[in-house]
Chain A
Amino acid sequence: MLTRKAKSRINLLLVLFITFGLVIFFIFKSLEDNLVYFFSPTEINNKMDISYKKKIRVGGLVKENSINKEETSINFIITDLKNEIIVFYSGSIPNLFSEGKGVVAEGRLKDKKLLIADKIIAKHDENYMPPEVTEALENNK
């Protein structure tokens, strides 16, 4: 069914595919640090080469009962349930920012446990649920 020409074209394409796939794989591997949008507190903790001058994003959950609101500033703790980072921030916060929910803070690290943020982004997880169902679930607890 296949002509010889078609066969040789298949082989050529296969070789190109594998080469190209590998090239992309290695590029992504080497760019890993730039491809992640944020680091978790644990990743920050384990990281050797942290820049305290460059901006960095830290993401995780807002720890329960950790939000401290003052007039113009706010501080809270980002946790990944293993490590924690305290965040200081002044400015407007997104509506969906709340305790126990995902958050990404952008700013500069003072040390491995303290971030001075100049931007707060709320993160939404993959769960979609109508409010009545949540209520029903909590009543059943």
Chain B
Amino acid sequence: MLKNFFPYKILNIKNKNFNTLLILMLAVVFVGTVYGLFISPPDQIQGDSVRIMYVHVPASFLSLGLFGILGAISVLNLIFKIKILPYIGKSIAPIGFVFTLVSILTGSLWGKPTWGVWWAWDARLTSMLVLLIFYLTYILIWKFVENFNTANTINCFVAIVGSFNIPVIKYSVDWWNTLHQTSSITLTSAPTIHYSMLVPLVIMILGLFLYSLVIFLMRYKTELIKLKMNKKNKKIN
């Protein structure tokens, strides 16, 4: 599977294939947005603010998932020293960071009309803030540590340590009393969201996943081109 991420494969992706992915992503997000905003019903208690969920849940889901990937590739990176892995991590991190921010901001917008407060220091919200800080640290280390190998090693540990936070975020609502509600979609029991709201949610999760993929491919390709240029410059000098 990793072979698909090797430079020659990525740099050879035809623009046509990439554009197909881009159009597919836009179509899915469009359908999800229209469904979420106009077709799905308001909630019996929350009213129309339930629609914030269609962005909040996919963003949270992806921010956790992407950091999980960051942790996994960091482990592989430390053990096998595969050269492309740092570039994959470097390309993923900003996407996850933005999704974490979106998750916190939309959650805040939802919290005010629902709970009556913008923010609460409960376990779920606080652990999500910790995730944001980990993403930020990871990005800033890539930016400000000049030696590539040093930055890479530090960031592997940042990502691995930060990964311990992922199950904490996921299960915080089950382990401790939190203001945040427990998950509505679980593997073990039927979802507690009515299907008319579940459909747009699933479409949006797919849409934002495709969005992550598109942005990742763009960023990763840029990283690889930069790398190629650097090598060429070195040869000339």
Residues of A within 8 A of B (CB): 6, 9-10, 13, 20-21, 24, 28, 32, 35-40, 59, 93-97, 101, 104, 120-134
Known: A20-B164, A37-B122. A9 touches B78 (CB 8 A): yes
Provide the residues of chain A in CB contact with B123, threshold 8 Å.
35-37
Bound: A11/B50 CA distance, A: 47
CB A56 to nearest CB in B, in angstroms, measures: 12
Q: Would you call B41 an interface residue if the criterion is a C-beta within 8 Å of the partner chain's C-beta atoms?
A: yes
Q: Let me know if B184 and A122 touch, CB within 8 A.
A: no
CB pairs A–B below 8 angstroms (12 shown): A24-B164, A37-B121, A38-B177, A39-B177, A93-B116, A94-B114, A126-B183, A126-B184, A127-B193, A128-B43, A133-B44, A133-B194
Which A residue's beta carbon lies closest to that of B196?
A130
B46 touches A96 (CB 8 A): yes
Nearest Cβ in chain A — how far from B19, in angstroms?
A: 36
Closest to A134 in B: B44
Q: Taking the complex as formed, is B42 at the interface, i.e. its CB lies under 8 A from any CB of chain A?
A: yes
Known: A13-B75, A97-B116, A126-B183. 8 other contacts (CB 8 A): A6-B79, A37-B179, A120-B116, A121-B115, A121-B116, A123-B181, A128-B194, A131-B43
With both beta carbons as reference points, the residue of chain A lying nearest to B81 in the complex is identified as: A6
Number of A-B pairs whose CB atoms are under 8 Å?
Answer: 105
> Is B197 on the interface with A (CB-CB < 8 A)?
yes
Looking at chain A's contact residues, the main secondary structure is mixed
- CB under 8 Å from chain A, chain B span 122-145: 122-123
Decide yes or no whether B218 CB sits under 8 A from chain A.
no
B53 contacts which chain A residues (CB < 8 A)? 128
Known: A20-B161, A127-B192, A130-B44. A95 touches B79 (CB 8 A): no
CA A36 to CA B180, docked complex, whole Å: 11
Report Cα–Cα, A95/B44, bound state, in Å. Answer: 13
Given contacts A13-B75, A122-B115, A128-B197, whether A36 and B177 have CB atoms under 8 Å apart is yes
User: Size class of B's contact patch?
Assistant: 35 or more
Residue of A nearest to B121 (CB): A37
Give the residues in chain B near A97, CB-CB below 8 Å. Answer: 116
> In angstroms, how far is the closest chain B Cβ from the Cβ of A104?
6
B75 touches A126 (CB 8 A): no
The 7 closest A-B pairs by CB, nearest first: A94-B116, A130-B41, A37-B122, A128-B193, A36-B177, A131-B44, A126-B184
Known: A10-B79, A96-B46. Contact between A130 and B179, CB under 8 A?
no
B176 at the interface (CB under 8 A from A): yes
Nearest-CB residue, chain A, relative to B40: A130
Known: A37-B176, A37-B178. A130 touches B43 (CB 8 A): yes
B182 at the interface (CB under 8 A from A): yes
